[in-house]
Structure 1
Amino acid sequence: MTFVGRSVLHTLRTPDALVMAIALPTMLMLLFTQVFGGAIDPTGGYVDYVVPGIILLCAGFGAASTAVDVANDMKAGVIERFRTMPFRAETVIAGHVVASLVRNLVATGIVIGVAVLVGFRPNGSPLEWVGMFALIAGYILAITYLFAAIGLAASNPEAANGYGFFLMFLPYLSSAFVPVETMPEWLRPLAEHQPLTPIIETIRGLLLGTEIGQSGWWALGWCALILGVAVVLTRVLFRAKAGRR
């Protein structure tokens, strides 16, 4: 709780990352719905299609700052101080992750609110809304731990920011903005079998009543796999980095 409070306090003192995590997905949503939406779907229903993808994009933008925060801690030498205290220094990573989860859930709620203002009309039941937020929380937890590992692996905060930028392209190679079947044949297998497509389709099904099929199980499986690999990788990298200091 101490390290969660520390990370939240850093966010309040330097709110730029939180503002950008909300502003960028919102701007993209307005761009696709208000500028491109009429050409993509003249009936005006494109906003319902695109919002689930924007939700995951919001989570990715918010989690990306964790890589920079972790890299800053490693570079500043604060970990050396923590290692002299009677607790596990890895707790600082958990603090970053939990604080990021809280920030991103708040940002997700704001983005959904803006989506409703521009015409998003979900029809999910209260239980389906709970399931949607639980899935998003699981995805945020997994991707944040992955960004924490990137922060540990990077040589400096600037490199961490650059490495994390590549993960921001994954939503564009999924069913977030256009159906997979409209993509070139060589690109469809990647779009169909990457982690974000089943997560997006599950969110779309929970909020809009579209067919979920096996996407729900694939979404849970991908979140669990990414989380498991990222946690192990984070522990290994932290011990390696901290051990050399």
Structure 2
Amino acid sequence: MITRLVLVHSSRCSDELVVDLNADLGEGVGDDEAMLTIVSSANVACGFHAGSPAELLATCRAAAAAGVRVGAQVSYPDREGFGRRFMDVGPDRLAADIVYQIGALEAIARSAGIEVAYVKPHGALYNSIVWHEDQAKAVIEAIRAHGRALPLMGLPGSLALQLAGDAGIPVIVEAFADRSYHADGTLVPRTEPCSVLTDGEVISRRVVDLVKDGTITAIDGTVLEVRAESVCLHGDTPGAVEHALAIRDSLKGAGIAIAAR
């Protein structure tokens, strides 16, 4: 069975397939320096779930030196839970929190000589705006209020991406290299078994299939059609750098280029 979620064709440069690789950085965990030699986009924490101003500045400077584009990874105010706990935040407060986070990272990025290029919600907020109408609307309102129509990166078929499209905000459709999917295209919660993949060979083969064929297999065996523009590599997953290197090498071997689009 193939379940269709979204159809967004991968970019080509001449006859070459191109995919963006993104990773969550600036969180004070993992090896950001190594990841910046592999990925083409960095989702930089904005301080609400992780990251200090000094860490964010260092990450933006390193991204600038590596030629990696930067996105604002906005979150619930949940440093204790690393932004992975749902919070029933009202839409006005949530919109204000997101405007604040984007603005803070934008100032830091500009001091490093680069611009924030997109917005990607983190953790529980990312998952909630797949279905939570008030919070999805708050994210869209925050991007509009910010003044620059920054693209929103998110899960295919999510309510937030639909609302963004309706509001004229560009979207970046994303898939996950190391996360398991349910048959409806949502991510398996981290509290459930087998939610995070740990075999580098399996992960890298999965990413190549995703880019070339536009499919990914859910945890129950359902084949999902997901033609994503960007693939997320979690920087805090054990073995993250090794997985990222395996993915890069597998993509290169399959004739697929890595670049932000």
Scaled to the shorter chain, the TM-score interval is: under 0.3
How does the TM-score come out when normalised to structure 2?
0.27
Give the TM-score normalised by the residue count of structure 1.
0.28
Please state which structure has a larger fraction of its residues in helix.
1
Decide which structure has greater strand share. Answer: 2
Choose 1 or 2 for highest CA Rg: 1
